[in-house]
Structure 1
């Protein structure tokens, strides 16, 4: 179970539906390893990931005049943070299918905030939290820096469509070296409520996923996305 941090925003409604869109290879890796991959924070496409807004940076620069290591700490700290991103939405997202899957051969994991919380095993070797991302204007708005997790819970407003909730892991107090990321233990049956197959996929692909899941000993509900269902007129 994850740790609670009163400084981090997270809805109290544990039934809030969340999604992860991914390709088949990553999905099979999740099932086979029974570990959730978390990407190192500075490996995301968004170069602003884990950085500060302009008002905050100006304040940090002033504090760093007498302590130049202050800024270096934040730069290197990004290498010690791993993130697993989930999308909050009551329904499937056409945009998420487009962005995170390719060649009509992706799938989506449907879960809830509560399931995600319960699926994480207790970690004694590093800190781990779940929080919702805040979307702000990086030129005008302030990001607090009195908690080392805060930079990773803010993104620019242009990413607002992601409606992201994150599992964030901090290994800075350990000797763990993150290359591309980190895998953490999860209870797969608790984590996954339902699987949706890509809306443009063929029937053979859906049958393949069903067969693979069955052979690996899982019995999730699997259905094809209805975003491409037949029109009624």
Structure 2
């Protein structure tokens, strides 16, 4: 269930377009299970995920001198935060295709911030929040710690190209052990507005994706990639 948090910043326009690039197996898992996978925050490639900038860490370290549990809480808390990452962009991104898909295969889901909010309504076990990631200089800039989600809504400037919006959840109250992540219930038809198939994929692969969706009873709009357009001379 999506919950509004006044301290978490969202794009002003609810119709802001967001994308998720993924391989066919993950896409089929989403369709078959009608559940969205959310990764455990400390399993991301970025080792700084969920950590603090240097100025904030120094501030917390001083507090922790008299209360060691304070710092330990933030370290262990990363295991209980789960995240689904989406990319803000009016258009599809060549870079995102390169990073998140392999062998010229894969798909991109196009959605909007509003559709993400609506898609989360079937979930009843955990509360979901949506926030836009801030990109800062971790050596100089401060990350607030008056909200436990804030460390997970900041990243280093090196990752600015991601232009990320996150669905984020704290599963501490659920008293579950999170391995790589958790799956949450979603309304698939709300979540997905359009599908783009990898622009460099072979025709057999495109036909396979279309066939699989038809057999599963889905009729999502499939758009031709702008990166696949014919060259005009």
TM-score of the superposition, structure 2-length normalised? 0.98
Residue-by-residue CA offset, 1:77-129 (whole Å, 9 max, x unaligned): 00000000000000000000000000011110000001010000254543320
Compute the displacement of 1:230 (Å). 2.0
1:44-193 correspondence runs (5 A): 44-121=44-121, 123-193=123-193
**Structure 2 residue 206 is matched with structure 1 residue 206:** yes
Secondary structure of residue in 1 paired with 2:111: strand
Aligned-residue RMSD, C-alpha:
1.0
User: Is the CA contact 1:38–1:84 (under 8 Å) kept in the aligned structure 2?
Assistant: yes
Does the Cα contact within 8 Å between 2:122 and 2:186 map onto a contact in 1? no
- Structure 2: runs of 5+ lacking an equivalent: none
Contact 1:2–1:117, Cα closer than 8 Å, also in 2: yes
Contact 2:199 2:225 in 1 (8 A): yes
CA deviation map 1:176-231 (0-9, x unaligned): 11100010000000100000010100111111101100110110011331303221
Structure 1's unaligned 5+ residue stretches are none
Equivalent residue number for residue 23 of structure 2: 23
Structure 1, 103-112 or 113-122: larger mean CA deviation? 113-122
Question: Is the partner of 2:49 in helix, strand or coil?
Answer: coil
CA distance in 2, matches of 1:226, 1:124: 38
Distance 1:102 1:13, change over 3 A: same
Q: Is the 8 A contact 1:198 1:224 kept in 2?
A: no
2:218 aligned residue? 218
Distance 1:208 1:69 in 2: 53
Contact 2:120 2:128 in 1 (8 A): no
TM-score (norm 1): 0.98
* Runs of 4+ with >2 A deviation: 121-127
1:44-89 C-alpha deviation (Å, 9 max, x unpaired): 0000000000000000000000111111100000000000000000
Task: Kindly tell me the number of residue pairs found equivalent between the two proteins.
Answer: 233
Report Cα offsets for 1:125-166 as digits up to 9, x if no partner.
433200000000000000000100000000000000000000
Between 1:8-17 and 1:74-83, the stretch displaced more is 8-17
